[in-house]
Structure 1
Amino acid sequence: MDAQGIPGRGEPITTRFISGGASNEIFEIGRGEHRWALRRPPRKVPPGRNETMMREYRILAALAGTDVPHARAVGGCEDTSVLGAAFYLMDFVDGWSPISEPGWPEPFASDPDARPGLAHELVDAIAKLSRVDWKAGGLEGLGRPEGFHERQVDRWYAHLDRFKFRDIPGLDEAAGWLRGRTPRSYEPGIMHGDYQFANVMFHHGAPARMAAIVDWEMGTVGDPLLDLAWVVMNWPAGEADRPSVGYVNYEGLPLRDELLERYATMSGRDVDEIDYYVILARFKLAIVLEGGYARYVSGGADNPRMEAFGRVVLDLARDAAHLAQTTKL
């Protein structure tokens, strides 16, 4: 901290564990009147996780001075001898995340008129992210934007081959539809890679104001429209679809088409081919979650929530295949 000019030199350091364990760990770090969040891999560091940690830090540093809600990068350390893993410090965000709440907190729980802002902020944040000049931010080489879409099926099938232990009906149908298809218009940009309500934080109180996008471990330079698809792939398209899906309650939130139009207006990107991105998002997420489920089945993970991934994976693959069969693209 001293070597990187972080404030509080000479003051005692305080620490408080916030979250983590099997996944990346977060600590609150205090020194004098200052406080930050420290993010590091779990105690048993998975292969490649140190490199991923520094990728996250690089993305946060590139967002400095932009209008994208994020925790400001403060300092990073690649030397694994310090804490046993690479780690970085960022500003501490005082807010709440939908994934850690049993329902919408007040005033959103009792005031339906305040809830649309939560969805608007969710979409606005990635629209802003899509406009960031990633080259000016020093992110050349972070990803391989050239040929991004042409690589996706083979890239994720190669990932699946590492742990495949069962058939996943519908996955091959979705893959067959995706192969050889590329969007008519593709403009590379920064993408989060796992963008959803679970990976954002809001300021306390109304109106809804996003405090930060968090958990950048899948961040890269690719096609930002895939982040939009991640948001809308299970979003209600009509009133009949309102019942809760997953961990959020969609009552009082805007419908899917409103969010697509809002993103298009703010980002300047064409969303007419959103079905392509939704099929790709479902295909990719099915494989990502299958990895967690495979570890759970083999005894390599003890998080009981991973048991539910087994059914979710099958649903995602089925829905990807169905959309591939019925889309008008």
Structure 2
Amino acid sequence: MKVSESGRAGQWDELVRPAMLGPAVAEATGDPRWCHLTATLLSGGKSNLTFLLTSPAGELVMRRPPSGELLPSAHDMGREVRVQRALASSSVPVARVVLSDDGAIVGSPCYVMERVPGHIIRDRIPDGYADTSEQRTALAFALVDVLADLHRVDPREVGLEDYGRPIGFLARQVRRWNDQWQRSRTVSVGPLEDLGRRLAERVPASPQASIVHGDFRLDNCMMDMRDPSRVRAVLDWELSTVGDPLTDLALLLFYWQEPGEPGLRLTPTVTALSGFPNRQQLAARYAQRLGVDLTDLSFHEALAHFKCAVITQGVAARVRAGTMAGQEFGDLTDEVSAIAERGLQRLEAL
């Protein structure tokens, strides 16, 4: 992970409370060296905040919600903890949870997990890493294969049979993100409101339910330090549930930019570089791995655009309120509108 350049010793103590968190981590690990830890904000984390914890005992990672008023059902640390613990024995790579707390330690629900070594790839590829077409294809297909592995996991076998409500999942998703938009909007955005209305009118039937990540993309996966074809850990499980697996695939495709397409300000990516497969190839790989029908994928892609436009607006609102630990992203109004317009184009393909 890349550490924010603005991080200074003690800067984040109000959000992390090292004097209380340190002894709790020491007790959870059985290592008293964790009694004295320091915290640094890691780059990324535009929803929940992610901190690197360091001490003479090593490094761990803590996640907690942003400060301030939060939208209902957002920033649920308990869900992240539960799903990662449930998947620990599966073929889906996840970080081991060391400690979870409902708010007594740092004043907000949080959890601490192991720091998995590897690369989080956002706007650049590390020098000498995945620099051939073969390696970039292997990296892309590794993501798709892990996603397929997740969707193969039977929720009942890992204790997640009550983790979501798969019946009516897509319709609830449309209602939820319409509601989130109404709660976070600061100005009217015609294309986004049109997209929300049209999605509500065209909800298709879902395939068999599975565990879904809810925000599956390249920079939410830790790639092996040396082997681009290996995912070391899937991160950021805040939006996970049991529901329609195609929502995960569609979101991966949304973030998978191709050459010549406009970039995303909040989530820059490297996938438009030469050598990476395109979205059609990723979808074909997924369909082949699971033997599924992708007839309704355009609806799911439109929903992914709607969801991400609303999330972008939510980030803008939190930045304006000063609850994003000093992170700034500029005026995002045009970005919200442009994402929604591309979502409307996906609906035209149905």
Q: Same fold (TM over 0.5)?
A: yes
1:256 to 279, 285, 301: 279
For residues 295 and 276 of structure 1, do their structure 2 counterparts lie closer, same or farther at Cα, with a shift above 3 Å needed? same
Q: What is the aligned partner in structure 2 of residue 25 from structure 1?
A: 50
Matches within 5 A, 1:1-329: 6-10=28-32, 13-20=35-42, 23-28=48-53, 36-42=60-66, 46=70, 52-78=76-102, 80-99=103-122, 102-108=123-129, 110-233=131-254, 235=256, 241=259, 245-246=263-264, 247-249=268-270, 250=272, 251-297=274-320, 303-307=327-331, 309-324=332-347, 326-327=348-349, 329=350
After TM superposition, the score normalised by the length of structure 1 is 0.84
The answer to whether the 8 A contact 2:26-2:33 is kept is no
Q: Return the alpha-carbon distance in structure 1 between the equivalents of residues 249 and 184 of structure 2.
A: 28
Q: Return the alpha-carbon distance in structure 2 between the equivalents of residues 201 and 190 of structure 1.
A: 19
The answer to whether the 8 A contact 1:193-1:219 is kept is yes
Q: Which runs of 5+ in 1 are unaligned?
A: none
SS at match of 1:252: coil
What are the Cα deviations for residues 5-38 of structure 1, in whole angstroms up to 9, with x where unaligned?
Answer: 8443555545342425984232335575x75433
The residue type equivalent to 2:96 in the other structure is: R
Q: Return the alpha-carbon distance in structure 2 between the equivalents of residues 287 and 221 of structure 1.
A: 21
Q: Return the alpha-carbon distance in structure 2 between the equivalents of residues 205 and 165 of structure 1.
A: 45
> How large is the RMSD of aligned CA atoms in angstroms?
3.1
The residue type equivalent to 2:253 in the other structure is: V
The answer to whether the 8 A contact 2:36-2:55 is kept is yes
Q: Return the alpha-carbon distance in structure 2 between the equivalents of residues 168 and 11 of structure 1.
A: 52
Number of matched pairs: 319
For residues 180 and 45 of structure 1, do their structure 2 counterparts lie closer, same or farther at Cα, with a shift above 3 Å needed? closer
The residue type equivalent to 2:37 in the other structure is: T
What are the Cα deviations for residues 261-284 of structure 1, in whole angstroms up to 9, with x where unaligned?
Answer: 111122333222210100111111
User: Structure 1 residue 105: deviation in Å?
Assistant: 1.1
Q: Return the alpha-carbon distance in structure 1 between the equivalents of residues 38 and 344 of structure 2.
A: 46
Deviates further, 266-275 or 42-51: 42-51
For residues 90 and 176 of structure 1, do their structure 2 counterparts lie closer, same or farther at Cα, with a shift above 3 Å needed? same
The residue type equivalent to 2:128 in the other structure is: P
Q: Return the alpha-carbon distance in structure 2 between the equivalents of residues 176 and 95 of structure 1.
A: 41
After TM superposition, the score normalised by the length of structure 2 is 0.79
Deviates further, 176-185 or 38-47: 38-47
Q: Percent identity?
A: 31
Deviates further, 54-63 or 155-164: 155-164
